[in-house]
Amino acid sequence: MIYITRKELFCAAHKVARKDWTDEKNKEVFGKCSNPNWHGHNYTMWVTVKGEINPETGFVANLSEISDIIKREILDKVDHKNLDMDVDFMTGKISSTETLAVECWKQLEGPINALGCFLHSVKLQETEKNFVEYFG
Amino acid sequence: MIYITRKELFCAAHKVARKDWTDEKNKEVFGKCSNPNWHGHNYTMWVTVKGEINPETGFVANLSEISDIIKREILDKVDHKNLDMDVDFMTGKISSTETLAVECWKQLEGPINALGCFLHSVKLQETEKNFVEYFG
Amino acid sequence: MIYITRKELFCAAHKVARKDWTDEKNKEVFGKCSNPNWHGHNYTMWVTVKGEINPETGFVANLSEISDIIKREILDKVDHKNLDMDVDFMTGKISSTETLAVECWKQLEGPINALGCFLHSVKLQETEKNFVEYFG
Amino acid sequence: MIYITRKELFCAAHKVARKDWTDEKNKEVFGKCSNPNWHGHNYTMWVTVKGEINPETGFVANLSEISDIIKREILDKVDHKNLDMDVDFMTGKISSTETLAVECWKQLEGPINALGCFLHSVKLQETEKNFVEYFG
Amino acid sequence: MIYITRKELFCAAHKVARKDWTDEKNKEVFGKCSNPNWHGHNYTMWVTVKGEINPETGFVANLSEISDIIKREILDKVDHKNLDMDVDFMTGKISSTETLAVECWKQLEGPINALGCFLHSVKLQETEKNFVEYFG
Amino acid sequence: MIYITRKELFCAAHKVARKDWTDEKNKEVFGKCSNPNWHGHNYTMWVTVKGEINPETGFVANLSEISDIIKREILDKVDHKNLDMDVDFMTGKISSTETLAVECWKQLEGPINALGCFLHSVKLQETEKNFVEYFG
């Protein structure tokens, strides 16, 4: 088994807030992340896939196929978008980094495993001080 | 003369679009940066100050005073905010990185020069592939 | 289970040397790290916590509470200090990166687990070429 | 158990291509990585070793000994070389990042374990968007 | 005047060697950079353009047009190529970082200035320890 | 004219304090940087040299000669040392980043200019948030 990781970037707006709470309650719980008019980030995402090396190619999987899946399932939907208004797979969810990582995993797991390898982890960084990792 | 630079970070939402243009016209000119529901970035800002070394302290200026000015004049106004809706000094302006750098310069020049040194440049990075520098 | 990591920085002096050895013996074993008049580093520390996502907030834990614990238990004690002279939890210990990581773990484990999540790892980087990780 | 990691860099030429395939077939499968006249990279390698802390020194292992092993077994053979023409341990192999990581592991495992600690992983980064990890 | 910079990456093989010298002479002058079978790098290039802000768009120039020029004039010719064998504008030249930066400037100056702004500098990094800057 | 830069690292202890002031006065003016028992940093230094390209070699100067000068004049004296106690060229000076950059310039200017090129700048970074630049 060997692990291969692809790093991708996207830029998005969001706020961390519950629609069923007042702005005051959201501010109390989520602080400046609940700013009603949104804020945003340059997100960095690392998608790690594991599998055995194909002796004919020396590859676990074709990275350009993995990259295409990440582009189609995630980047085309979130890059230069509002996570809370524009993204189908985040509808009705709080756009915390934790939840976003879990939902990205769900988007990627099927298509990546169909390549004959296994999705191992999604790591998502919101600012240079914070990141989350999800292993399914 | 010696040059000293302070690096700061902020996270903000914005879009690059003219209110007097249609969404279609904005998309044609500004591409995905004009997404109507906003997107956002982790901005990095470098503020460079020049001056002579004070022989008593070895400093050009007290970096904590420079940091306080950047916090009061810029960060408190833009961090976790929407550049187009929440920021007084950006009202009525297009939030391109160029314009944002020029307006940050205007915010900083007076207070920094009042310390007895000189604002030399504002460098502003929107994504890891793009940055601007303004020298007044 | 999801993993969330907070990155923090501190600047400290130290030397790697045993008080019961001569300077010559320390130099032989620890090389330039044993310089009698100290040297120092910008340390980077990553604290990783694991837990389940709280469905009400989308968070594993409130990162500002984790950040407060790291500040109170570690940063206030080590930042701009001498690890061998000023830090209570390092008294009588060799300030190797390994030992420092283990002692930081001991400082953090109780307060973090009291939040309802679990301390997973402490990663500590001394220079850009070396880091250690401790999982308890 | 504690984990300690050493980061090293090397610069090398290579191509990803099978000698028993035509240039056209190689281009179809491996894309621009199969350029017949080679291309190259700044590779970054992280070697992670695990073990118990020696109470006399505070160290898992002497990092300068680990560094010497990496230099002798890997860097002296690959740095400023052609991975496909100049490197004994890559002879007859496809120089994919996956295969290179596995072969580096084989070079390091014996000498590092002879120090009384254990090789845990070899992580190898080819470009800032891709890396692999091998755990033996 | 404001300055805007675009960062791009490419991977290439090369050697620093004169064809009219022996391998021994090349090794004496250029060291390990003269390895006869090539070596390679991940090059990072920063292209800086200066101009006035267009009040209608807030831009000095359309970054996607600058990016297209860099791609057409430089990246398509050098990425995943051998600088000494595959690149028309390097024919007969020593592929030192200095010379490569000057030749990239010559490729870019005409097309960028035709956009109504001015090429200010080309910065080229070969390894994380070395870079050059050329201002025309 | 072309500019070439070499990046080097060193680790050192220091404090920012005047010996003719009390600890209280030093703390009032210099804050936590005046900790009596020292603190320390991983310093990053960029030395920029300018000159014309030698047509025979394609180089402004031999980087290994520049690197040797930096090692002999600076790194051997400051790396893993106490800037205030161990370094001849800092004796009696306040080890602010500004003063350290100026003194490094004085160490380098003669030997580098003797190579037939010109020292252009010394940039010195103390933490990832602060750096200074000196141009002589």
Task: For helices C63-70 and C97-113, give the axis angle rounded to 10 degrees.
Answer: 130
What's the DSSP call for residue D52? P
Enumerate residue ranges in chain B where pLDDT < 50: none
Side-chain-facing half-sphere of C13: CA atoms under 13 Å: 28
Amino acid at A87: V
- CB–CB contact D58 C128 (8 Å): no
Selecting among C8, C33, C41, C109, the annotated active-site residue is: C33
pLDDT in tens, C42-99: 999 999 999 999 999 999 998 999 999 999 999 999 999 999 999 999 999 999 999 9
Confidence band, pLDDT 50/70/90 cuts, at residue F127 = very high
Question: What's chain D's Rg over C-alpha atoms?
Answer: 16
Residue F20 CA, chain-centre distance (Å), reads 25
Contact E78, B116 (CB under 8 A): no
Sign of the dihedral defined by the CA atoms of residues D121, D125, D128, D129, in that order: negative
Which of chain C's residues have a Cβ under 8 Å away from the Cβ of F41? 11, 40-42
**Which residues, listed in sequence order, are joined to residue E13 by a DSSP beta bridge?**
E40, E82
Joined together, the tokens standing for residue B40 give 């956002």
Whether C126 is a known active-site residue: answer yes
In chain B, which residue ranges form alpha helices assigned H by DSSP? 23-30, 63-70, 76-78, 97-113
How far apart CA D104 and CA D45 sit, in angstroms, is 10
What's the DSSP call for residue B105? H
How far apart CA B16 and CA E117 sit, in angstroms, is 21
**Does chain C touch chain B (at least 3 C-beta pairs within 8 Å)?**
no
| CATH number for position A27 | 3.30.479.10
- Considering only CA atoms, which of A78, A79, A6, A76 is closest in space to residue A47? A6
pLDDT in tens, A112-124: 999 999 999 999 9
pLDDT in tens, A51-86: 999 999 999 998 999 999 999 999 999 999 999 999
pLDDT in tens, C83-94: 999 999 999 999
**C12-40: average pLDDT:** 97
How far apart CA D131 and CA D44 sit, in angstroms, is 9
Largest Cα separation within chain B, whole Å, is: 60
Joined together, the tokens standing for residue F29 give 């003016």
Concatenate the DSSP letters of all residues of chain F into one string: -EEEEEEEEEEEEE----TTS-HHHHHHHHGGGG-TT-EEEEEEEEEEEEEPPPTTTS-SS-HHHHHHHHIIIIIHHHTTEETTTT-GGGTTS---HHHHHHHHHHHHHHHHHTTTSEEEEEEEEEETTEEEEE--
- CB–CB contact C9 F127 (8 Å): yes
Which of chain A's residues have a Cβ under 8 Å away from the Cβ of C56? 18
Contact B39, B14 (CB under 8 A): yes
Task: For helices E97-113 and E63-70, give the axis angle rounded to 10 degrees.
Answer: 130
- CB–CB contact E130 F3 (8 Å): no
- Kindly state the percentage of chain F with pLDDT values over 90: 99
Task: For helices A97-113 and A63-70, give the axis angle rounded to 10 degrees.
Answer: 130
Contact D7, C127 (CB under 8 A): no
Residues of chain D contacting E, Cβ within 8 Å? 9, 11-14, 32-33, 35, 37-42, 79-82, 85-86, 127-128
Question: What is the residue whose two structure tokens read 């596995």?
Answer: D102
Residues of chain B contacting F, Cβ within 8 Å? 1-8, 53, 56-60, 63-64
Q: What is the structure's pLDDT at E28?
A: 95
Amino acid at C86: D
Give the count of Cβ contacts less than 8 A between chain D and E.
77
Q: What is the structure's pLDDT at A77?
A: 98
- Give me the residue from E11, E35, E81 closest to D81, CB to CB: E35
Measured CA to CA in angstroms, residue A89 lies from A77, B14, E106 at distances of 9, 22, 47
Instruction: Please name the residue of chain E whose CA is at the shortest distance from the CA of residue D37.
Output: E82
Selecting among B33, B41, B65, B109, the annotated active-site residue is: B33
Q: What is this model's ipTM?
A: 0.95
**Which residues, listed in sequence order, are joined to residue A42 by a DSSP beta bridge?**
A11
Contact A100, A83 (CB under 8 A): yes
| Boundaries of domain holding F88 | 2-134
Secondary structure of E42-91 in the HEC alphabet?
Answer: EEEEEEEEEECCCCCCCCCCCHHHHHHHHHHHHHHHHCCEECCCCCHHHC
Question: What's chain F's Rg over C-alpha atoms?
Answer: 16
Q: What is the structure's pLDDT at F37?
A: 98
pLDDT in tens, F73-111: 999 999 999 999 999 999 999 999 999 999 999 999 999
Whether C80 is a known active-site residue: answer yes
What is the pTM for the complete model shown? 0.97
Give the count of Cβ contacts less than 8 A between chain A and B.
77
Joined together, the tokens standing for residue F124 give 């010195």
Q: What is the structure's pLDDT at E50?
A: 98
- CB–CB contact B132 E64 (8 Å): no
Helix (H) / strand (E) containing D105: helix D97-113
pLDDT in tens, E29-85: 999 999 999 999 999 999 999 999 999 999 999 899 999 999 999 999 999 999 999
Q: What is the structure's pLDDT at F96?
A: 97
Distance in Å from the first CA to the final CA of chain D: 18
Contact E40, E33 (CB under 8 A): no
The total domain count for chain D is 1
Chain E closest-CA separation from residue D9 CA (Å)? 9
Measured CA to CA in angstroms, residue F95 lies from A30, B56, F77, F83, F104 at distances of 42, 12, 14, 7, 12
Q: What is the structure's pLDDT at C92?
A: 95
Selecting among A33, A41, A65, A109, the annotated active-site residue is: A33
Q: What is the structure's pLDDT at B42?
A: 98
* Cα angle: B122, vertex B124, B125; to 5 degrees: 155
Selecting among E11, E39, E80, E133, the annotated active-site residue is: E80
- CB–CB contact D7 C129 (8 Å): yes
**Which residues, listed in sequence order, are joined to residue E48 by a DSSP beta bridge?**
E5, E121
Joined together, the tokens standing for residue C44 give 């980077």
Question: What is the residue whose two structure tokens read 């920029």?
Answer: F48
- Considering only CA atoms, which of C126, C128, C38, C34 is closest in space to residue C82? C38
How far apart CA C57 and CA C64 sit, in angstroms, is 14
**D70-98: average pLDDT:** 98
Q: What is the structure's pLDDT at A60?
A: 95
Side-chain-facing half-sphere of C92: CA atoms under 13 Å: 1
**Does chain F touch chain D (at least 3 C-beta pairs within 8 Å)?**
no
Torsion of CA C105, C106, C110, C113, to 10 degrees: 20
Contact A66, A6 (CB under 8 A): yes
Instruction: Please name the residue of chain F whose CA is at the shortest distance from the CA of residue C31.
Output: F80
**Which residues, listed in sequence order, are joined to residue C124 by a DSSP beta bridge?**
C45, C132
Residues of chain B contacting A, Cβ within 8 Å? 9, 11-14, 32-33, 35, 37-42, 79-82, 85-86, 127-128
How far apart CA E15 and CA E6 sit, in angstroms, is 27
Interface test with E, best of D39, D77, D78, D97 (most E CBs within 10 A): D39
Contact A41, A127 (CB under 8 A): yes
Q: What is the structure's pLDDT at A12?
A: 98
- The 10 Å CB-count burial string (b at 16+, else e) for F125-136 is bbbeebbbbbee
Which of chain E's residues have a Cβ under 8 Å away from the Cβ of F2? 98, 101-102, 132-134
How far apart CA C73 and CA C68 sit, in angstroms, is 8
Instruction: Please name the residue of chain D whose CA is at the shortest distance from the CA of residue E79.
Output: D39
Measured CA to CA in angstroms, residue F111 lies from A46, F65, F68, F119 at distances of 46, 10, 10, 9
- Give me the residue from D93, D129, D132 closest to A2, CB to CB: D132
- CB–CB contact A6 D132 (8 Å): no
- Considering only CA atoms, which of E16, E19, E42, E40 is closest in space to residue E29? E16
Question: What is the residue whose two structure tokens read 């990425």?
Answer: E79
Mean predicted lDDT score pLDDT of chain A: 97
Backbone angles phi, psi at A37, to 5 degrees: -90, 20
Joined together, the tokens standing for residue D12 give 């090398």
In C46-129, which residue ranges form alpha helices assigned H by DSSP? 63-70, 76-78, 97-113
Chains that touch D (3 or more CB pairs under 8 A): A, C, E
- The 10 Å CB-count burial string (b at 16+, else e) for A45-83 is bbbbbbbebbeebbbbbbbeebbebbeebbbebbbbbbb
**F24-49: average pLDDT:** 97
Whether E109 is a known active-site residue: answer no
Q: What is the structure's pLDDT at B72?
A: 98
Residues 6 or more apart whose CB falls under 8 angstroms from that of B115 comprise B61, B62, B65, B66, B69
Burial of C81 (0-12, 13-18, 19+ CB in 10 A): buried
Confidence band, pLDDT 50/70/90 cuts, at residue E86 = very high
